[in-house]
Amino acid sequence: MQIASILITGANRGIGYELVRQLAAANPSPDFIYAGCRNPDGADKLKELAQKHPNVKILKIAIGDESSYQTAVQQVSQDIGDRGLNVLFNNAGILTNRKFHEVTAEEMRKDYEVDTIGPLMLTKAFYPLLKKAADSSQVKGLSCTRAAVLNMTSGLGLINSNTSGGFYPYRPAKIALNMITKSMSIDFKSDGIMAVIIDPGWVSTDMGGKNASATPSQCVDGILSVMAKLGEEENGKVKKWNGQTMEY
């Protein structure tokens, strides 16, 4: 897959870190891999990776703190200028698991802040750079090589897959993100920018726990294969890490 530049949020651990690690090791590797995290000083694994791979650039992006988005946009602009940013991967997320009688309004707001509003506002901030990538690309149509927004959902955020209830803050926050992505896929199309919902499956990270069915390495291997094949047909769809297209 030929991607010149990609930004991944929540890149200091879990699936986000593994995305950066595999992209840095890929051949060809993107010219710029921006690893967003809220605490760069404490991101030791990322710092090690950036020392080994000069195309890995660590950026402070704290989801919910919009001033950090603007600073990040300026930093990326200085590097890539008119070439623009090809892929924005909104990966950072939190999962609050609360039952009906436990959930509080504050918990609802917190998950929406990180899982829904953050990806929308960060995409707004980076939109001019995504548009520059689409405009300056030699490639026509929709693809990650040209320009794409990828938003990480969850199987828990698919209405048809809800057979167990609960997860009051998390499920609706991801469902709202899915709807936002669908609207983006319509609104961005004429600018040559694709928007796709990625479902990583159940992955053994801090969030997914030890009993998960896939390792971060297996999941990311699958996501990168899926990304390479994304095109017009997949715009606005939910693509699972194993290539399956899911119902909302």
First to last CA, the chain: 27
Please give the helix or strand (H or E) that residue 198 lies within, else none.
Answer: strand 194-199
- Is there binding between residue 10 and ligand NAP (CB under 6 A)? yes
Q: Which of 84, 192, 200, 236 binds ligand NAP (CB under 6 A)?
A: 200
- Is there binding between residue 202 and ligand NAP (CB under 6 A)? yes
- Is there binding between residue 8 and ligand NAP (CB under 6 A)? no
**What single letter denotes the amino acid at residue 231?**
G
If the CB atoms of residues 134 and 203 are measured against ligand NAP, the closer one turns out to be 203
The size of the interface with ligand NAP (CB under 6 A), counted in residues, is 29
Q: Which of 212, 218, 221, 246 binds ligand NAP (CB under 6 A)?
A: 212
- Is there binding between residue 13 and ligand NAP (CB under 6 A)? yes
Burial class (CB within 10 angstroms; exposed 0-12, middle 13-18, buried 19+) of 150: buried
If the CB atoms of residues 114 and 133 are measured against ligand NAP, the closer one turns out to be 114
User: Do the bridges between strand 56-60 and strand 87-90 make them parallel or antiparallel, or are there none, so unpaired?
Assistant: unpaired
| Cα(204)–Cα(16) distance, integer angstroms | 13
**Angle between helix 118-136 and helix 66-80 axes, rounded to 10 deg:** 20
- Is there binding between residue 15 and ligand NAP (CB under 6 A)? yes
User: Rounded to the nearest 5°, which phi and psi values hold at 123?
Assistant: -65, -40
DSSP string over 40-62 = GGG-HHHHHHHHH-TTEEEEE--
Q: Which of 114, 134, 194, 226 binds ligand NAP (CB under 6 A)?
A: 114
Q: What track of x and - describes contact with ligand NAP for positions 50 through 79 (by CB under 6 A)?
A: ------------xxx---------------
- Is there binding between residue 169 and ligand NAP (CB under 6 A)? no
Give me the residues that bind ligand NAP (CB under 6 A), please: 9-10, 12-16, 37-39, 62-64, 91-95, 114, 152, 154, 200, 202-203, 205-208, 212
